[in-house]
């Protein structure tokens, strides 16, 4: 983990600092971090006492039928990494990697077979390529999707958990 990054689950999700961080989230896009989303536990990252990033996700992914190479996981549950955001002033310092690593640890502890992420496809190609590079660096690969299964018709990346 990057030096000086403190990760924890915020108790007070409406704190002004969190609101400030969320204000940096893309215009027109509503991050689902907040009180109405108890099903998406959030982890926040703090550096020098300031919130600089967050991740939301859960451990109840079961849509293996959409992933031809992973249908053997039917019956197991996976983890779904829903959102990840690092303040632009704090990027390329390992904060995103620390948040993802923390989520993977939680996923393993929850007995999930794999972490699946749907990288946001709403930006330019350059930004999409950058986030794909980020997830590749965290050990994720692009997942093959079954075109006949109606489930999130964009692209997904995944990383099997190593239960040792
Ligand atoms: C994607 C994002 C979360 C990365 O966070 P970060 O804290 O800057 O990432 P890290 O510093 O942990 O990067 C770890 C590694 O990932 C790769 N990486 C990160 N950002 C990258 C980029 N823009 N281009 C290419 N590779 C990148 C690098 O290998 C990097 O290691 P290095 O800095 O030693 O080369 C951040 O850029 C972000 O919030 N983007 C906007 C929202 C978003 O795209 N969210 C994710 C999908 S929903």
Report pLDDT digits (tens) over 123-147. Answer: 677 888 899 999 999 999 999 998 8
Mean pLDDT of all residues in 50-70 = 90
Atom of ligand 1 lying closest to residue 100 CA:
12
Calculate the average pLDDT of the chain: 82
Contact by Cβ (8 Å): 143, 65: no
What pLDDT does 3 receive?
76
What pLDDT does 162 receive?
83
Fold of 5-160: Aminopeptidase (3.40.630)
Residue 88's contacts (CB-CB under 8 Å, 6 or more residues apart) are: 24
Cβ(96) – ligand 1 distance below 6 Å: yes
Cβ(123) – ligand 1 distance below 6 Å: no
Backbone φ, ψ for residue 111 (5° rounding): 80, 15
CA of 132 to the centre of ligand 1 (A): 9
């Amino acid at each position: 983990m990057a030096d000086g990054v403190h990760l924890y689950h915020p108790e007070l999700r409406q704190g002004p600092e969190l609101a400030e961080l969320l204000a940096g989230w893309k215009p027109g896009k509503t991050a689902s971090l907040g009180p109405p989303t108890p099903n998406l536990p959030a982890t926040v990252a703090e550096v020098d006492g300031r919130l600089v990033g967050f991740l939301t996700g859960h451990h109840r992914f079961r849509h293996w039928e959409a992933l031809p190479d992973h249908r053997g996981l039917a019956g197991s549950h996976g983890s779904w990494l829903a959102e990840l955001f690092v303040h632009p002033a704090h990027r390329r310092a390992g904060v995103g990697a620390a948040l993802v690593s923390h989520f993977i640890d939680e996923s393993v502890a929850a007995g999930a077979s794999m972490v699946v992420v749907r990288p946001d496809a709403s930006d330019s190609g350059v930004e999409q390529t950058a986030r794909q590079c980020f997830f590749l660096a965290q050990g994720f690969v692009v997942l093959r999707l079954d075109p006949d299964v109606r489930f999130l018709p964009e692209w997904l990346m995944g990383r099997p958990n190593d239960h040792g």
